[in-house]
């Protein structure tokens, strides 16, 4: 019985071999998908389901990216070039198959408007040279995303740093006959950010705290990227410490927590606060200051009825005109000036109304 089974198996193997021998070979110029089975000095050997493996010579796989080198097990498109030798070995081209397939995919992306990923392989004075499936294209400098130094040397260095990177782009011009292919990274980035902005606007809520990164510092405030859109932190919302230098509060690239103050869905704007993520100075004032305590404060403003003085650059107290001097005065400027640093006595603390009364007269009398 065993002999019978062996003869049956042998017969099945012979039939399979005869079937493969009778199977017509792939036609020249045909593009099919194969599997890389080995790599050697001659090229890449690929199983395409024929009786013998085909080879992609090294000069027919020059479009293989250093970012994504060929490896055993990869599924790759190949174009049949010719048969060689008595064994009918097939000579294949990865480059030509990729370009043929690539042009078709590029035309589909142009029609759909969907972004695609390309590899930046070189630079020139006008922009970036990029490749998609072995097809060379160009990203003009004006269409490259990101902040740049607008000096000639700065722009050149900025472009050079992009070499070897991957980029998401949209096609803005395609002419297969002229082999002209122009990409825009800025359009792709803008589209992605608009989608992220709409997503954030749908989920963000006023009164919540979000995490972000500082992207710009200006005279009117600070911009913070929330992970898809930017919000503005007005200068008055940076710190409880009034007049604190910007450089002491934030820096470009710094990670920060922000409080969502206002959400404008119609204009797609968000107003943020950094200081409101931290306790208000008045919340801890009773533990820090007591009635009768001597404190140091800076005069910030003179008014007819007295002078305002600031403690810790964050809490303002009033020195009533009657508490400026032991003698009668017509105006605070007779005794103090803006910017003066004074030793004062705390007369009262009203945490509910956030009023702090101070005295220069009593502090001096106690000396």
The CATH code belonging to domain 281-365 is 2.40.50.140
Residue 19, pLDDT > 50, answer: no
d(CA 54, CA 45): 6
22 Cβ contact partners less than 8 Å away, ≥ 6 residues apart: none
Convert the pLDDT of each residue in 23-68 to its tens digit: 566 788 888 888 999 999 988 999 988 877 888 888 888 778 776 7
Q: What does DSSP assign to residue 297?
A: E
Tokens of 126: 């006008």
CATH classification (class only), 204-277: mainly beta
Fold assignment, 113-190? OB fold (Dihydrolipoamide Acetyltransferase, E2P) (2.40.50)
For 103-151, the pLDDT digits (tens) are 989 999 999 999 999 999 999 888 999 999 889 999 999 999 886 666 6
Is the pLDDT reported for residue 216 higher than 70? yes
Q: Which single residue is written with the structure tokens 């630079």?
A: 123
Length of the chain: 367
Topology of the domain comprising 21-112: OB fold (Dihydrolipoamide Acetyltransferase, E2P) (2.40.50)
Choose the weakest-confidence range: 151-165, 296-310, 313-327: 151-165
State the DSSP string of 63-115.
Answer: T--SSS---TT-EEEEEEEEEETTTTEEEEEHHHHHHHHHHHHHHHHHHH---
In this structure, the strands spanning 355-359 and 315-320 are parallel
Report the percent of the chain where pLDDT is more than 70: 89
The one-character DSSP state at 280 is -
Domain with CATH 2.40.50.140 in the chain: 21-112, 113-190, 204-277, 281-365
Question: What is the reported pLDDT for 21?
Answer: 45
The helix (H) or strand (E) run that includes residue 13 is helix 2-22
315 closest CA partner among 343, 288, 276:
288
What mean pLDDT value characterizes the chain? 86
What percent of the chain has a predicted confidence (pLDDT) above 90?
49
């Amino acid at each position: 019985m065993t002999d019978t089974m062996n003869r049956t198996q042998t017969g099945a193997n012979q039939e399979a071999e005869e079937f493969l021998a009778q199977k017509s070979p792939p036609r020249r110029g045909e593009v099919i998908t194969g599997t890389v089975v080995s790599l050697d000095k001659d090229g890449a050997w690929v199983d395409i389901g024929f009786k013998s493996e085909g080879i992609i010579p090294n000069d027919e796989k020059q479009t293989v990216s250093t970012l994504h080198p060929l490896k055993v097990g990869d599924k790759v498109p190949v174009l049949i070039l010719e048969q060689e030798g008595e064994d009918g070995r097939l000579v294949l081209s990865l480059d030509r198959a990729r370009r043929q397939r690539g042009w078709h995919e590029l035309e589909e992306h142009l029609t759909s408007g969907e972004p695609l990923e390309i590899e930046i392989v070189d630079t020139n004075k006008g922009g970036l040279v990029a490749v998609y499936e072995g097809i060379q294209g160009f990203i003009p400098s004006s269409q490259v995303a990101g902040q740049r130094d607008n000096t000639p040397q700065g722009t050149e260095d900025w472009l050079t740093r992009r070499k070897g990177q991957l980029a998401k782009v949209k096609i803005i011009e395609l002419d297969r006959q002229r082999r002209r292919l122009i990409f825009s990274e800025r359009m792709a980035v803008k589209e992605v950010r608009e989608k992220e902005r709409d997503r954030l606007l749908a989920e963000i809520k006023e009164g919540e705290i979000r995490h972000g990164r500082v992207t710009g510092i200006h005279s009117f405030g600070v911009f913070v990227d929330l992970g898809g859109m930017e919000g503005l932190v007005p200068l008055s919302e940076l710190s409880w410490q009034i007049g604190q230098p910007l450089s002491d509060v934030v820096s470009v690239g710094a990670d920060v927590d922000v409080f969502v103050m206002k959400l404008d869905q119609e204009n797609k704007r968000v107003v943020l606060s950094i200081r409101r993520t931290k306790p208000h100075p008045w919340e801890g004032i009773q533990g820090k200051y007591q009635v009768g305590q001597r404190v140091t404060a800076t005069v910030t403003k003179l008014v007819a009825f007295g002078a305002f003085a600031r403690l810790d650059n964050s809490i303002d107290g009033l020195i009533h005109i009657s508490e400026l001097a032991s003698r009668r005065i017509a105006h605070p400027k007779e005794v103090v000036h803006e910017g003066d640093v004074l030793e004062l006595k705390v007369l009262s603390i009203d945490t509910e109304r956030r009023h702090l009364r101070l005295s220069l007269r009593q502090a001096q009398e106690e000396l």
